[in-house]
Amino acid sequence: EAGVAQSPRYKIIEKRQSVAFWCNPISGHATLYWYQQILGQGPKLLIQFQNNGVVDDSQLPKDRFSAERLKGVDSTLKIQPAKLEDSAVYLCASSLKESSGGAKSYNEQFFGPGTRLTVL
């Protein structure tokens, strides 16, 4: 079974430029997540999709970050314009659909290799 795919793996841009990241989740996974991992910190959830709808985007800086998942499969995350503090690894993860509750209903998140963004 193929894992979560992300591209590009590395990206270097100058501040105020735009950048986009792409994620292809595991086939059949309805839920997709984007995380930001700043060096020396744990991943922080930016946005969560279920199919093509947004479940949680409470920590997404909406003035510069946007994400979409138009057909409920692939997703893109965009930053426009980038700031120095956006330098981080952007991780995509996917899982079966959001659990409806119950002790054994947690669905494991599978992570992609990430995109390392450097903003100069």
Distance (Å, rounded) from C-alpha 39 to C-alpha 28?
31
Smallest separation, CB 81 to another protein (Å): 27
CA angle 111, 116, 120 (to 5 degrees): 155
Distance (Å, rounded) from C-alpha 117 to C-alpha 85?
10
Smallest separation, CB 76 to another protein (Å): 18
Q: Tell me the residue type at 24.
A: N
Smallest separation, CB 119 to another protein (Å): 19
Which is closer to another protein, CB of 45 or CB of 73?
45
Enumerate binding residues for another protein (CB under 8 A): 4, 31, 33, 40-45, 48, 56, 91, 93, 95, 98-109, 111-114
